Amino acid sequence: MTIIIRWFSAILAVIMGLPSLLGAVLQSATKIGYDERPVAAISENFLEGNEEFIDEARSEYWSAGYARRVLTPEDIEGTRYFLGGFLKFPAQEATGVVDDLCVRAIVLDDNSGRGAAAFAWIDGVGFMNADIKGIREKLSDITGDGKLISIDVGSTHNHSAIDTQGLWGNIPKSGRNEEYIASVIEKTADAIREAYNSRCKGTLYYSSEAYPELFHDGRDPYSIDEKIHLFRFVPMDSTKKEIYITNFGAHPINLGWSNTEISGDFPYYIEQAVTQSTNADFIFIQGAIGGAIHSNMGVHNGIPEELTSFEKMKEYSKIVAGKLAELAKKGEKVEPILNVRHEQIDFEVNNFVFLLAESAGLCNVKAFKEDGKIYLTSEIGYLEIGKNIKIIEAPGEALPELIYGGFYSAEEAHNGTEYPYEGIASFFDENDEVLVFGLCNDALGYIVPDNDYSSSGAEGHYEETVSTGSVSATAFSKEFFELLEIWG
């Protein structure tokens, strides 16, 4: 009976939404009905970051604070929630809870007097820029000179979480539950505020190591950050907990295509293992996962083949937690230097699927028209921690070659052309550590190099389906190199 109701509800949504869907198709095809570019040069609640970068520490210590909130709704049995990440019809409705969805927040301050930076990562498939600006609005009283000069909010890209984008409902009906979105905004702002108010002085350590056996790149050319990165904050006050900030790139999709239950996937279980063995607070920040970068749960890692996908994920989480324990022992002290800068960026939207989603109002995004083309405004960011840790903040799922190089040549690429830029990491010295904070401050889908972009649905080109379009990567590379020329 439940399946019949789901099918009936999905078909009814299509029938009732048919007029609006046809209108969205017409608007997307003709590009009629879009507003012209907004007059305001800087959008509301956009935070530029530091007005100046420093090269030498002005304090002996860092300060850091942490907070965590559970996002799992209590009314899961009586309210319809869609899971985000898998395109299905009827859409995937949540039927239960395996473990909690969370938002984890950390505030870092180099005590230079220029202000602190907040980072919060939400268990969700993606969180839109307009919603993130709603979080910043709630924190406006602690934002500004000497307070929070940067608020970066990202998502773990969890495919077993509630749809926070809107793309995963019974289209043309959005999958967004606005009451849940409001709750996520409120709880994330609350966590950031607590992290800001609970800061204490301490020492920050950094370590990283390549573990190629733990990751898999699902799209050629093979280009991937094979490292797990760990920042470990050790407070001076022994009554305070240490904080583990973990960064690597891998899709949390391990409950599978048919799953209908909410789960935090591997970020939740890595956290469980870390907190049980160290009593430290934990935050996972997603990396560069474009090209379907997955966790590799093969038998070569000691994970039995006969286990279910969920069981393999739990074993994988224990392995990663063990690697973090190893990394924690060999971390090197990081000088208290924190530089951060953001820039607005316009992405031309020429992917019809994305245009259709925007026109139908599925997501909280607003496109505009200029010179006959359609654009969305988003953000990129650049962060320096210490003297040689450089962080690229990407507003979606950037293919790793955009950062680390390894592009297809003209002979290999789908479009028979060369990509006009080097990988962004080429800007830095060979001794610099270059990290990516992915799905940061927006969730605009995959950012695919122009020379290998296909809109025809060719085999091996799934990522283009969930992308703003064929020139997003060059816009991304161009804006980043211009940003680095000034601030890098």
pLDDT digits (tens, 9 = 90+) for 355-365: 877 777 888 99
pLDDT of 38 strictly over 50: yes
Question: Where do the domains of the chain lie?
Answer: 23-44+337-487, 62-333
pLDDT of 332 strictly over 90: yes
183 vs 292, higher pLDDT: 183
Distances from the Cα of 440 to the Cα of 71, 84, 260, angstroms: 19, 17, 26
Tokens of 64: 């850091």
- What distance separates the 2 farthest-apart alpha carbons in the chain? 66
E strands of 148-218, at which residues?
A: 148-155, 200-210, 215-217
State residue 11's pLDDT score.
45
CA neighbours closer than 13 Å in the CB half-sphere of residue 45: 18
pLDDT band at 21 (very low <50, low <70, confident <90, very high): very low
Percentage of residues of the chain with pLDDT beyond 70: 92
Tokens of 488: 């890098």
Task: Determine contact, residues 90/102, Cβ cutoff 8 Å.
Answer: no
Mean pLDDT score of the chain: 91
pLDDT of 14 strictly over 70: no
pLDDT band at 20 (very low <50, low <70, confident <90, very high): low
Distances from the Cα of 216 to the Cα of 231, 247, 407, angstroms: 23, 16, 17
Tokens of 360: 């139908």
* Cα–Cα–Cα angle for 190, 196, 200, rounded to 5 degrees: 140
DSSP code of residue 420: S
pLDDT band at 88 (very low <50, low <70, confident <90, very high): low
Q: State how far the Cα of 438 lies from the Cα of 157, in Å rounded to an integer.
A: 9
Stretch 40-66: mean pLDDT, rounded?
A: 94
How many other C-beta atoms lie within 10 A of the C-beta of residue 117? Answer: 24
With b meaning 16 or more CB within 10 Å and e meaning fewer, what string describes 458-478?
eeebbbbebbbbbbbbbbbbe
pLDDT digits (tens, 9 = 90+) for 371-421: 888 899 999 999 999 999 999 999 999 999 999 999 999 999 999 999 999
Stretch 431-440: mean pLDDT, rounded?
A: 98
pLDDT digits (tens, 9 = 90+) for 129-139: 999 999 999 99
